[in-house]
Copies of this chain bind each other. A is one copy, B any other.
Amino acid sequence: MKGKTAEQILDVAQDLVRRLGYSAFSYADISDQIGIRKASIHYHFPAKDELVKALVQRYRVLFQQQRQQIEQATSDPEQQLLRFAQLYQVGLQNNQLCLCNMLTADFAVLPDAIRQELKAFFAENETWLAKVLSKWILSGTAYSQVPVEVLAAQLLATLQGAQLLARASDASEERFSQIMTSFLGQLKREP
């Protein structure tokens, strides 16, 4: 059970990392935003590495919950994929990348513990996407020549890449959704 301040620190830090990246954000930034001294942050998270590691762990849980919520909200595979894609799309409004998307760019400067967390994050999402894609194909309204595992990897890559590309665009959200629509359209087959 984390304390309230610790959660607040994580909230602010998450936004900073998602916008600026691992190397570009600092304890001073967090300090400014929540009105607490730098030293106090070190009390909750002694080192930057540990803070970011906690960030990714929390993010993994969050995504697990969101995948569950999607399954409860609709049982239609295509709708489930669309909603999952929207998780990536909403961040664009605040110039945020997926936390793990950003940290993968910073991969070379991260300690191994965080790298393992990132790998786990992607593996979890790929497994889920493969499951949903499989359901979709079995329903007969979608078709693919390649195994669902590869298709899931391709979808995840498309989401990550579209999010990045959208960042360097004036109409980022339109750009993102256009790419996603294109991807899903390729899988659809006439019933």
Chain A interface residues (CB < 8 Å from chain B)? 19-24, 95, 97, 101-102, 104-109, 115, 118-119, 122, 144-146, 150-151, 153-154, 156-162, 164-165, 167-169, 175, 178-179, 181-183, 185-186
Contact = CB atoms under 8 A, between A and B. Distances in A.
Contacts of A185: 145-146
The 10 closest A-B pairs by CB, nearest first: A161-B161, A157-B161, A105-B105, A160-B161, A23-B23, A23-B24, A157-B162, A146-B182, A154-B182, A154-B179
25 contacts: A20-B23, A20-B106, A20-B109, A21-B23, A21-B105, A21-B106, A21-B109, A102-B105, A118-B168, A119-B168, A122-B168, A144-B186, A145-B186, A151-B182, A153-B162, A153-B178, A153-B179, A154-B158, A154-B179, A156-B161, A158-B158, A159-B161, A160-B161, A160-B165, A161-B164
Contacts of A157: 158, 161-162, 164-165, 179
Instruction: Say what secondary structure dominates the interface of chain A.
Output: helix
A159 B154 CA distance: 10
Number of copies: 2
A169 B156 CA distance: 13
A105 B97 contact: yes
Nearest to A100: B168
Contacts of A169: 119
A168 B108 contact: no
A103 to B, nearest CB: 9
Nearest to A106: B21
Nearest to A144: B186
Given A23-B24, A108-B20, A162-B161, A153 B168 contact: no
A156 B168 CA distance: 13
Given A122-B168, A150-B182, A161-B162, 19 more contacts: A19-B108, A20-B108, A21-B105, A21-B108, A95-B108, A104-B164, A105-B105, A105-B164, A118-B168, A119-B168, A146-B185, A153-B179, A154-B179, A156-B161, A156-B165, A157-B158, A158-B158, A160-B164, A160-B165
